[in-house]
A and B are shown apart, each in its own frame.
Chain A
Amino acid sequence: MPDEHDFAALWISLRLASLTTAILLLIGTPLAWWLSRSRWRFKFLVEALVALPLVLPPTVVGFYLLVALGPHGPIGALMEALGGAPLAFTFSGLVIGSVVYSLPFVVQPLQDAFDAIGQRPLEVAATLRASPLDRFFSVALPLARPGFLTAAVLGFAHTLGEFGVVLMIGGNIPGKTQVLSIAIYDHVESLEYAQAHWISAALLLFSFLLLMMVYGFNRRFSRVQS
């Protein structure tokens, strides 16, 4: 049976994933919109940057973030100068790392959804007196709804399954920065296979149900749209 440390890890994982997803939707939406609409010549540079976490080993992302967030890094030093504590080995640090690492999983589905809308509905809205901001909220957002669901679920699930980045930045402190995926690793290291099984199976089932819901919903939505 899972012990109290496991439940603490579950709680941290859920908090981390929810907070990361919320932040990513807030940052990712305008970013994806800009990537979808901009005709800037060097847009591809930004696109490559956003996609980097997809190909980099998590330890590389984690390592640079650790350096940046630590007391001698630029962000850590800034935090200290502002009277705060360095972010390495804290929950806030985990959130920052997760936001960076899960960025493409949120931005890309959103960008695809915005691309799929095309120019026409927005032009129609413009001829119906809607200002650019109005067009975004009354036309682009509702039409991109399936993209938002996909983005939120992918962002959440990917953060839940994170290991390398969290380990580098968070340092596996039980009750503070130890998340579920690391708890599994610890159990296996200590040859506690039964507990590792419990958590793994729960994560597997949860992830499957989540994805099933997304695909089911998007299929229904696309049928209605076409």
Chain B
Amino acid sequence: MARWTMTLDARFHVDRGDFSLHVDLTIPQSGVTAVFGPSGCGKTTLLRAIAGLESNCTGYFRIGGEVWQDGRRFLPPHKRPLGYVFQEPSLFAHLSVRRNVEYGLKRLRPAVRRVSLDRAVALLGIGPLMDRKPHQLSGGEQQRVAIARALAVSPAILLMDEPLAALDMALKHEILPYLESLQRELDIPVLYVSHSRNEVARLADFMVLLEAGRVRGMGAVGELFARLDLPLAHRPDAETVIEAVVAGHDEAFALTFLDFSGGRFTVARNDLPPGRRARLRVLARDVSLTLERQTHTSILNIFPAVVDEVFDEGGAQATVRLRVGDVPLLSRITRRSVVNLDLVPGRAVYAQVKSVALLN
């Protein structure tokens, strides 16, 4: 995963009696950062605070060399160079799709326009919809227009508040590819609020875990999913996300090879071109451990690994955190196996990965 040099700082305090948000964040100023947590944990409030929409909010916000808010200054929302995609599309009902997308663009000084109308329209594939009114669009189309509208203001940061939450599964899958291409093609940092692990695994590079208005943890997605001091690693369907690069294909057996720092994954043939970055998901319960490399086995993906940490889940289960190359990998095995194999931190093992899912 990429290393981040530029960062943005956000410190906010919101008190609303029954709810309070106290966060102090340093997050990369590139790629997609997921703000993840259960509903009511303050994800939306955090985004609204960054946008300047939250009243009774004190704090500090800096992006690049610009301070939007500190003890003395408070830049009003319309002076903050950001794009905001709300959970519901919230298109202006009285304007056509074209006028909706142009609304913010027209209010920009020409000198600060970096994303053209055509570019935003093409990226979200809304060209054929331009002359319609919002009520003539499907929910998925409306949300694509809303994203294009937010992009057209050439934001320094794009804030997305669960943009897929109001859509059903089919529409989610219709929009996700657009979000991925957006990330590949534009160099705009995205703060993406979500309570869906799947979306986070697929889209985000960095992640902030919120709980009851406090930050539980933040870091690279692959690291955070595998941290044993956080709840994600202890779910029955705990998983590790690994970023790899397509190395090539084996046409004879219809396989694709993907390289990462710990070795090479072999998966069923896909259409990704060599060199393309891809996300892999490995469920902890699909990773078994051996002390010696198995040779006569049908399992294709076997990696040398080192035990990092072992966590007793209670009952029969234990979660083992491994290090493969320089990425973490979770393995869910029985406590008996932990004892039998004497799995203690530092022990060298082989991780056998029974199944891998390609996320994009």
Q: Spell out A's residues near B (CB within 8 Å).
A: 120-121, 123-132, 134-135, 138-139, 142-143, 145, 224-226
Which of B83, B93, B149 has most A Cβ within 10 Å?
B93
> Provided the pairs A123-B53, A226-B135 are in contact, do residues A128 and B103 lie with their beta carbons within 8 angstroms?
yes
B248 at the interface (CB under 8 A from A): no
Q: How far is the CA of A116 from the CA of B51 in the complex (A)?
A: 24
Q: In the complex, what's the smallest C-beta–C-beta distance from B154 to chain A, in angstroms?
A: 10
Q: Spell out B's residues near A (CB within 8 Å).
A: 51-53, 76-80, 82-84, 86, 88, 90, 92-94, 103-104, 107-108, 133, 135, 149-150, 153
Instruction: Assess the B133–A129 pair: CB atoms within 8 A.
Output: no
Known contacts A124-B90, A128-B78, A129-B107; 6 further A-B pairs (Cβ under 8 A)? A121-B93, A123-B84, A127-B80, A129-B79, A224-B133, A224-B135
Q: Which residues of B contact A138 (CB under 8 A)?
A: 103
Q: Which residues of A contact B84 (CB under 8 A)?
A: 123-124, 127
Instruction: Assess the B77–A139 pair: CB atoms within 8 A.
Output: no
Q: How far is the CA of A131 from the CA of B52 in the complex (A)?
A: 13
Q: Which residues of B contact A142 (CB under 8 A)?
A: 94
Instruction: Assess the A124–B86 pair: CB atoms within 8 A.
Output: yes
Q: Which residue of B lies closest to A224 (CB)?
A: B135
Instruction: Assess the B53–A126 pair: CB atoms within 8 A.
Output: yes
Instruction: Assess the A129–B78 pair: CB atoms within 8 A.
Output: yes
Q: How far is the CA of A225 from the CA of B94 in the complex (A)?
A: 8
Q: Which residue of B lies closest to A143 (CB)?
A: B94
Q: Which residues of B contact A125 (CB under 8 A)?
A: 78, 92, 103
24 sampled A-B residue pairs with Cβ under 8 A: A120-B90, A123-B77, A123-B84, A124-B86, A126-B51, A126-B76, A126-B77, A127-B51, A127-B84, A127-B150, A128-B78, A128-B107, A128-B149, A128-B153, A129-B78, A129-B108, A130-B107, A134-B107, A135-B78, A139-B92, A142-B94, A143-B94, A224-B133, A226-B135
Q: In the complex, what's the smallest C-beta–C-beta distance from B111 to chain A, in angstroms?
A: 14
10 closest cross-chain pairs (CB), A and B: A128-B104, A127-B84, A126-B77, A129-B107, A142-B94, A126-B78, A124-B90, A225-B93, A129-B78, A120-B90
Q: In the complex, what's the smallest C-beta–C-beta distance from B257 to chain A, in angstroms?
A: 44
Q: In the complex, what's the smallest C-beta–C-beta distance from B98 to chain A, in angstroms?
A: 14
Number of A-B contacts (CB under 8 A): 68
> Provided the pairs A126-B77, A126-B78 are in contact, do residues A120 and B92 lie with their beta carbons within 8 angstroms?
no
Q: How far is the CA of A23 from the CA of B52 in the complex (A)?
A: 36
Instruction: Assess the A124–B77 pair: CB atoms within 8 A.
Output: no
Instruction: Assess the B90–A131 pair: CB atoms within 8 A.
Output: no
Instruction: Assess the B82–A127 pair: CB atoms within 8 A.
Output: yes
Q: Which residues of A contact B150 (CB under 8 A)?
A: 127-128
Q: Which residue of B lies closest to A128 (CB)?
A: B104
Q: How far is the CA of A132 from the CA of B145 in the complex (A)?
A: 23
Q: How far is the CA of A81 from the CA of B341 in the complex (A)?
A: 104
Q: Which residues of B contact A224 (CB under 8 A)?
A: 93, 133, 135
Q: In the complex, what's the smallest C-beta–C-beta distance from A107 to chain B, in angstroms?
A: 22
Which of B78, B82, B88, B135 has most A Cβ within 10 Å?
B78
Q: How far is the CA of A165 from the CA of B80 in the complex (A)?
A: 52
Q: Which residue of A lies closest to B52 (CB)?
A: A126
Q: Which residues of B contact A128 (CB under 8 A)?
A: 78, 103-104, 107, 149-150, 153
Q: How far is the CA of A134 from the CA of B53 in the complex (A)?
A: 17
Q: How far is the CA of A142 from the CA of B76 in the complex (A)?
A: 23
Instruction: Assess the B78–A120 pair: CB atoms within 8 A.
Output: no
Q: Which residues of A contact B83 (CB under 8 A)?
A: 127
Q: In the complex, what's the smallest C-beta–C-beta distance from B224 to chain A, in angstroms?
A: 28
Q: Which residue of B lies closest to A118 (CB)?
A: B90
Q: Which residue of A lies closest to B108 (CB)?
A: A129
Q: Which residue of B lies closest to A141 (CB)?
A: B94
> Provided the pairs A121-B92, A143-B93, A225-B135 are in contact, do residues A131 and B78 lie with their beta carbons within 8 angstroms?
yes
